[in-house]
Chains A and B, each alone.
Chain A
Amino acid sequence: MVSKNQEKAFDVLWDNTTYKIINYYREGKYNEAAELAKLSIDIAKKVYGTDSTKVAISMNNLSLIYDIQGKFAEAESLSTNALEIWENKLGPDDPDVATSLNNLAGIYVSRGKYKEAEPLYKRSLEIKQKSLGQNHLETATSYNNLADLYRLEKRFNEAESLYRKAIEIFEHNKDHKNPNIGSALNNLAEIHKIKGQYDEALKLYKRAFEIWRSSYGPDHPDIATAINNIAGIYYLEGNYVEAEKLYKEVLKIDEKSYGKNHHYNAMTYNNIALVKEGIGQYDDAERYFKEAFQISQNTLGEFHPSLVTFLNNLAGLYRARERYEEAEFYFKKGLVILEKVFGSNNPDVAMAMLNLAEMYESQGRTEDAKRFCDSAKSICKKDIKGS
C-alpha cells in the first residue's frame, strides 16, 4: 500500500522520468530513452495499478521509441495494450483514445500494414471532430495523418483533399508557424509534383520551407529537406543553376547536423553530380559521384545496396563518354554487391546482367553479351513476379 506522501513522491519521480524520456527521444538518444521508459512503466504499474492511464502513457512512450528503432512487433504490442487501457478508463470517445489510436495506426504504417491503419486513423479523426470540433488543430493533425496514409497508398486525390482540409484548419486558427502545416504543404506539393504540376508544387514547397524556417530556424535538418525538395523541382524544370546552388546549401546544413560522413550527404553529392552531368560538366560529375560512393561506403559498409545506385550512375557517365573499361568496372562492381546482398537468383541481378550484356553487344563483344544474357535468363520467372 502506498501512502499519500509516497504517492506524491512517485508522481514527481514519474513526471521527471517522463520528461527525461521525451528529451532523450528528441535528442535521438533512443537506447537511453527506452531504458527509462521501461522503468517508468514499472513505476506506474507498482504505484498506480496495471490499468492506470499513467501505465498507458508510459507504454505509449516506449512504443514510439521502439517504432523509431524498428522494433515494430514490440511497439505494436505495447501500443495495443495502451489503447485498451485508455478505452477501458475513458470510454471509446475520449480525445486521449483518439491519440492512442493515432499512435497505433502510425506503427501499422511503419510495418506497411496500411489496411489496418486506415480504420484507426478514421476513428481517431471522428473522435476529434466530435469531441474537439471540426476546426480544432488536433482535428487538422488527424486529417494530415490520414492524408499521409492515402499518399503512401497512392490514393493521391483523396490525400490531396485531406491535406487541403488540414491546411484550411491550420490557417483558420492562424497557426501559421505550426510545423505541421509545413508538413501538410510539403506533402501536398509532393502530390502536385507526381502529377507533373511543377509550378504549384514549387509554390507549396516554398511555403513549407518558410514555415519550417520560422519554426525551426535555418539550420534544422527539415530545412535541408525543404530546400532539397525545391531543388528537385528546379532540376526537373531544367533550371540547373538554381538546383545546384540549393543542393549545395542542403549539403552545408546536413554536414552541420550529421557530419560529413552521412548517407544523406551521399545522396546530395549524387544529386549535384546528376546536375553537373546534365550540364555537361563531366569531370565534376565524376568527382561528385565518387564522393557519394565513398561516403556511402564509409557509412554503410562495403556491401550495401545503396552503393549500387552511385556505382551505376558513375558507370553510366563513363558509358556515355565511351569510356567502356571504366563503365564495365563500375557496372560489375554494382553487380557483385547485388549478388552478395540478394543472392544470384534475384531480378535486380538479372537486370544488371542484361545491362552489361547490352553494353557488350553495342561494343561487338557478342560472346560476353551472350554469357551475361544467358545468366540473366536463367533467373526464373517466379523471381521476377515475386520481387
Chain B
Amino acid sequence: MSKILIVEDYKDLSEFYQEFLEGDTLFTTSDGESAVALYKEHKPDIVLMDLKLPKKSGIDATKEIIQIDPKAKIIAITAYGSTIGSKALEAGAKEVLRKPVRFNELKEIIAKYKSI
C-alpha cells in the first residue's frame, strides 16, 4: 500500500482518481498551496499533480515540493498541452500525462513509481 497525494481542482475528476486508487492511502486537495503543506506533512510516495490550480499553480507547487524533497515522484497531469508540460518537467516532475488520461497508462505509471 502506498501513500498517494491527489492534487486536482475538478472535484468529479478527483473523485474518479480516488475510486481508481482505492486501496492506497490517499490525500486529496484542490489547490497548490495545500498540496505543498500536505506533502510536508505526509511525505507521500507519489503525487498526481494537476497543473492549473487555484492559489498556487501546479508548476510552483512542484518546484516547492522538489525543494523540500528532490526525490519526490510527481506525475504532472494537464489538459493544456506540452508547453505547460515542459515547464512541469523543468520544475522536477517525473512525467507529464495529458488529459484525458488513459486508465491503463495511469495504472502503468503508478505501478512503475511504486516500484522505485
A positions within 8 Å CB-CB of B: 154-156, 194-196, 236, 238, 240, 274-275, 277-280, 285, 308-309, 312-313, 316-317, 319-320, 331, 334, 347-348, 350-352, 354-355, 357-359, 361, 373, 376-377, 381, 384-385, 387
A-contacting residues, B41-88, CB 8 Å: 71, 78-86
Chain A nearest Cβ from B65, distance in angstroms = 14
One of B80, B102, B107, B114 near A319 (C-beta < 8 A): B80
Q: Which residues of A contact B12 (CB under 8 A)?
A: 354, 357-358, 373, 376-377
Q: Which residues of B contact A331 (CB under 8 A)?
A: 100
Instruction: Identify the closest chain B residue to A237 (Cβ).
Output: B89
Q: CA separation between A275 and B115, bound complex, in Å?
A: 29
One of B94, B103, B112 near A348 (C-beta < 8 A): B103
Q: Which residues of B contact A274 (CB under 8 A)?
A: 82, 85
User: Do most interface residues of chain B lie in helix, strand or loop, or is the interface mixed?
Assistant: helix
Given A274-B82, A381-B19, CB of A195 within 8 Å of CB of B116: yes
User: Do most interface residues of chain A lie in helix, strand or loop, or is the interface mixed?
Assistant: helix
A277 x B116 contact (CB < 8 A): no
Q: Which residues of A contact B100 (CB under 8 A)?
A: 312, 331, 334, 348, 351-352, 354-355
Chain A nearest Cβ from B51, distance in angstroms = 11
Q: CA separation between A24 and B22, bound complex, in Å?
A: 49
One of B22, B79, B98, B112 near A154 (C-beta < 8 A): B112
Q: CA separation between A387 and B105, bound complex, in Å?
A: 11
Q: Which residues of A contact B84 (CB under 8 A)?
A: 320
Q: Which residues of A contact B94 (CB under 8 A)?
A: 196
One of A280, A312, A351, A358 near B103 (C-beta < 8 A): A351
Instruction: Identify the closest chain B residue to A350 (Cβ).
Output: B16
Q: CA separation between A350 and B83, bound complex, in Å?
A: 26
Chain B nearest Cβ from A363, distance in angstroms = 12
One of A278, A334, A354 near B13 (C-beta < 8 A): A354
Instruction: Identify the closest chain A residue to B108 (Cβ).
Output: A154
Q: CA separation between A238 and B93, bound complex, in Å?
A: 12
Q: Which residues of A contact B78 (CB under 8 A)?
A: 316
B107 x A238 contact (CB < 8 A): no
Q: Which residues of A contact B102 (CB under 8 A)?
A: 308-309, 348, 351
One of A278, A313, A351, A387 near B86 (C-beta < 8 A): A278
A351 x B81 contact (CB < 8 A): no
B16 x A354 contact (CB < 8 A): yes
One of A320, A348, A384, A387 near B83 (C-beta < 8 A): A320
Which of B22, B78, B90, B102 lies at the interface centre, i.e. has the most chain A CB atoms within 10 A of its CB? B102
B37 at the interface (CB under 8 A from A): no
Q: CA separation between A272 and B94, bound complex, in Å?
A: 20
Chain B nearest Cβ from A61, distance in angstroms = 33
One of B19, B81, B82, B115 near A385 (C-beta < 8 A): B19
B116 x A278 contact (CB < 8 A): no
Q: Which residues of A contact B115 (CB under 8 A)?
A: 154-156
Q: Which residues of B contact A377 (CB under 8 A)?
A: 12
A351 x B101 contact (CB < 8 A): yes
Given A277-B81, A348-B102, A351-B101, CB of A238 within 8 Å of CB of B16: no
Of all A-B residue pairs in the complex, the 9 with the closest CB atoms, nearest first, are A355-B100, A154-B115, A278-B86, A320-B80, A320-B81, A316-B81, A277-B82, A351-B100, A352-B100
Chain A nearest Cβ from B91, distance in angstroms = 11
Known: A156-B115, A351-B16, A387-B107. 8 other contacts (CB 8 A): A278-B82, A278-B85, A309-B102, A313-B98, A348-B102, A355-B79, A381-B19, A387-B104
A277 x B83 contact (CB < 8 A): yes
Q: CA separation between A373 and B111, bound complex, in Å?
A: 27
Instruction: Identify the closest chain A residue to B113 (Cβ).
Output: A194
Q: CA separation between A313 and B115, bound complex, in Å?
A: 28
Q: Which residues of B contact A275 (CB under 8 A)?
A: 82
30 chain-A/chain-B pairs, Cβ below 8 angstroms:
A154-B114, A155-B115, A156-B115, A156-B116, A236-B89, A240-B86, A278-B85, A279-B86, A309-B102, A316-B78, A316-B79, A319-B80, A320-B80, A320-B83, A320-B84, A334-B100, A348-B100, A348-B102, A348-B103, A354-B12, A354-B13, A354-B16, A355-B100, A358-B12, A358-B13, A358-B79, A358-B99, A373-B12, A384-B16, A384-B103
Q: CA separation between A20 and B115, bound complex, in Å?
A: 44
Instruction: Identify the closest chain A residue to B115 (Cβ).
Output: A154
Chain B nearest Cβ from A281, distance in angstroms = 10
Q: CA separation between A153 and B25, bound complex, in Å?
A: 23
A194 x B86 contact (CB < 8 A): no
Q: Which residues of B contact A196 (CB under 8 A)?
A: 71, 94
Chain A nearest Cβ from B105, distance in angstroms = 9
